[in-house]
Amino acid sequence: MNALNLAVADGMTIAKRNALKIRRAPDLLGGVVMLPIVFVLLFTYVFGSMISLPGMSYGEYLLPGIFVLTIVTSAQITGYTLTQDLQRGIFDRFRTLPMSPSAVLTGQTIADVIMNLTSMVTMAVVGLLVGWRINSSPPQAALGFLMLLLFSYAFSWVTATVALALRTPEVFNNVATILSFPMVFLSNAFVDSARLPGPLKPIAEWNPVSTLVQAARELFGNTSPALPTPAAWPLQHAVPVSLAWSVVLLAVFVPLATRLYKRAVSR
């Protein structure tokens, strides 16, 4: 086997391990399946019953936002499992094996994509049951899901980097919660970012989460001509900018996480 095949095969072995872990761990599985269901139902019925939008239901406007919220929160599982593994001896075992060293992180992040796919299918099904509709063509909708998965993969590398810098599950959980909530709520996921006050408005408009939500709305056809078109540049080119964000995050955080991993385990 050449080096690339080896890295791919090892990555798959590790991905299988992490996927099994998620399936067997009730706390992690809850985050993957139960939390998205709770999100969809809560937001649809609580906010959806209070807020009305011109030309469309709030529930329909909301679901792309919940997709992104779930991606951001469940990417934390990557960080959490990494910090747990760091504290146990398992990385030492991996490092005494003739495996590709990069496989640990690629395997971990690939398992996350599988997990995110599960979350997304769950949310889509529950969403369809409570009134969400895809109003676009099948290729556009498929591109929408692929774009969300790509972003989730890129974002897993971000949380992996944070986790490897922080090292302990407790610290990681605290920091991740503190960072991820503003990241999702300072966006257009639940409200129109153009109507936010003062300095919050540009932050929300340039937040990659907003771009991704806007792109998902466009690709799933969850927009209404009656709604004002967002004026900010990234929101006007939401689909290409979202894809660009994923590429940029990967380009920055794959090498960064890899370097931190090497440093974390070689002590």
Partner 1 sequence: MPDAIMAEGLVKRYGDVTALDGMDLAVPEGTVFGLLGPNGAGKTTTVRILTTLLRPDAGHATVAGFDVVRDARALRAHIGASGQYAAVDDHLTGAENLEMVGRLYHLGVQRSRQRARELLERFELTQAADRPVQGYSGGMRRRLDLAGALVANPPVLFLDEPTTGLDPRARASLWDVISELVAEGTTVLLTTQYMEEADRLADRIAVVDHGRVIALGTSDELKRQVGGDRVEVWLTSAADLEAAERALAPLAVGEPQRDPHILRVTVPVSGGVTALTAALGRLAAERVTVRDAGLRRPTLDDVFLTLTGHEADEKVKETV
> Which residue, 88 or 228, has its beta carbon nearer to partner 1?
88
Residue 20, interface with partner 1 (CB under 8 A)? yes
Measure Cα distances from 38 to 35, 58, 136 in Å: 5, 17, 26
Residue 89, interface with partner 1 (CB under 8 A)? yes
| Segment lying near partner 1 (by CB under 8 A), choices 6-14, 42-50, 200-208, 235-243 | 6-14
Min CB(149)–partner 1 separation in Å = 24
Residue 237, interface with partner 1 (CB under 8 A)? no
Q: What are residue 56's DSSP bridge partners? A: 53
**Rounded Cα distance, 195 and 178, in Å:** 24
**Rounded Cα distance, 11 and 198, in Å:** 46
Residue holding tokens 């399946």?
33
Q: Angle 208-220/58-74 helices, nearest 10 degrees?
A: 130
List the one residue out of 28, 131, 41, 138 whose CA is nearest residue 82: 28
Q: Is 37 exposed, middle or buried (0-12, 13-18, 19+ CB in 10 A)?
A: middle
Residue 21, interface with partner 1 (CB under 8 A)? yes
Min CB(79)–partner 1 separation in Å = 17
User: What is the greatest pairwise CA distance in the chain?
Assistant: 61
Q: Residues 13, 49, 135, 174: which binds partner 1 (CB under 8 A)?
A: 13
Residue 52, interface with partner 1 (CB under 8 A)? no
| Segment lying near partner 1 (by CB under 8 A), choices 48-56, 90-98, 149-157, 195-203 | 90-98
**Rounded Cα distance, 193 and 199, in Å:** 11
> Which residue, 88 or 139, has its beta carbon nearer to partner 1?
88
Q: Residues 2, 4, 52, 96: which binds partner 1 (CB under 8 A)?
A: 96
Residue 6, interface with partner 1 (CB under 8 A)? yes
Residues touching partner 1: how many (CB under 8 A)? Answer: 26
Q: What is the DSSP letter of 194?
A: G
Min CB(3)–partner 1 separation in Å = 10
List the one residue out of 46, 53, 60 whose CA is nearest residue 127: 60
Residue 25, interface with partner 1 (CB under 8 A)? yes
> Which residue, 17 or 167, has its beta carbon nearer to partner 1?
17
Contact residues toward partner 1 (CB under 8 A) are 1, 6, 9-10, 13, 16-17, 20-21, 24-25, 88-90, 92-99, 103, 265-267
